[in-house]
Amino acid sequence: MLRRLPISLLIFSTFALETQASQVCNSVSECLELIKQAKIRIQELSNTSGQRVSNTGSIFFQDISVPALGEAYRDPSGLIWGSIVMVQGKVNTMNQFDADKFCKDGGTRLPAKEELEQLADYLGRGTVQEYSPYLADGKTDFLPGLSNHWFWSSSVLPKYSDWAYLFSGEYGIVFHDLRYKDDHAVRCVADRFPR
């Protein structure tokens, strides 16, 4: 069973498939579709070695350095994204104050608004590939528990301290809500190299 695929092989495979696509397809849209399928296949192969590759080519590496984060992945900037917080098999929603305390008590923190926006960029926001919270199979969350939830950030609106920013894992957008509402999910993060 293939466990690790050397990066040079991935680069060569992508180049070879893109070159082959340009010799086989009859239109630009056909070529783009062949290239897309080749990238999906490379993503599937890379997942066998603890990596997740977004549809924009951003590589997230599995990271076990912060046990409090559960199944966690380090993004290209070095930020480690933890799993959605669960209690007895169910998503544990809470208000922003409790979410902030929960993460800090575990030695982690809530992500800032800008970090959530960067996550959306890694997953395709504003690109031709478009935002997707899923792996190539279209069903498995790119990060554990990402789709179908709104997540708290640590960032508070500048003029309205009772409001904090949220991130939609399903749509990749940042919005805001009252910090006292207790119906949003939590995903803690940790810096690869503490600040």
Q: What is the tens place of the pLDDT at every residue in 101-120? A: 999 999 999 999 999 999 99
Neighbouring C-beta atoms of residue 101, cutoff 10 Å: 13
Same-domain pairing of 40 and 105: no
| Residue 175 forms part of a structural domain | yes
| Residue 55 forms part of a structural domain | no
Residue ending a domain, among 49, 74, 89, is 49
Helices (H), 47-167: 96-105, 113-122
- φ and ψ at 81, to 5 degrees? -100, 125
Same-domain pairing of 142 and 76: yes
Same-domain pairing of 79 and 125: yes
Distance CA 95, CA 144 (A): 21
Kindly indicate the confidence band of residue 89, based on its pLDDT and cuts at 50, 70 and 90. Answer: confident
Q: What is the tens place of the pLDDT at every residue in 9-46? A: 444 444 444 444 455 678 887 777 677 666 545 544 44
Same-domain pairing of 38 and 74: no
Same-domain pairing of 73 and 30: no
Which among 43, 38, 45 has a CA at the least distance from the CA of 57?
A: 43
Strands 79-84 and 51-53, bridge-based pairing? unpaired
pLDDT mean over 40-60: 70
Task: Return mean pLDDT, the chain.
Answer: 82
The answer to whether 157 and 178 have CB atoms below 8 angstroms apart is no
pLDDT of residue 25: 75
What percent of the chain has pLDDT above 90?
58
pLDDT at 54 over 80: yes
Strands 59-62 and 150-157, bridge-based pairing? unpaired
Q: What is the tens place of the pLDDT at every residue in 154-175? A: 999 999 999 999 999 999 999 9
Mapping DSSP to helix (H, G, I), strand (E, B) and coil, where does residue 84 land? strand
Structure tokens at 53: 């590759």
Question: CATH code at 118?
Answer: 3.90.1580.10
Number of domain units in the chain: 2
Torsion from C-alpha of 193, 120, 135, 63, nearest 10 degrees? 10
Helices (H), the chain: 7-24, 28-46, 96-105, 113-122
User: In this predicted structure, which of 63-77, 121-135, 142-156, 169-183 has the lowest mean pLDDT?
Assistant: 121-135
pLDDT of residue 15: 47
| Residue 112 forms part of a structural domain | yes
Range of the domain at 131: 66-191
Same-domain pairing of 3 and 73: no
pLDDT of residue 23: 57
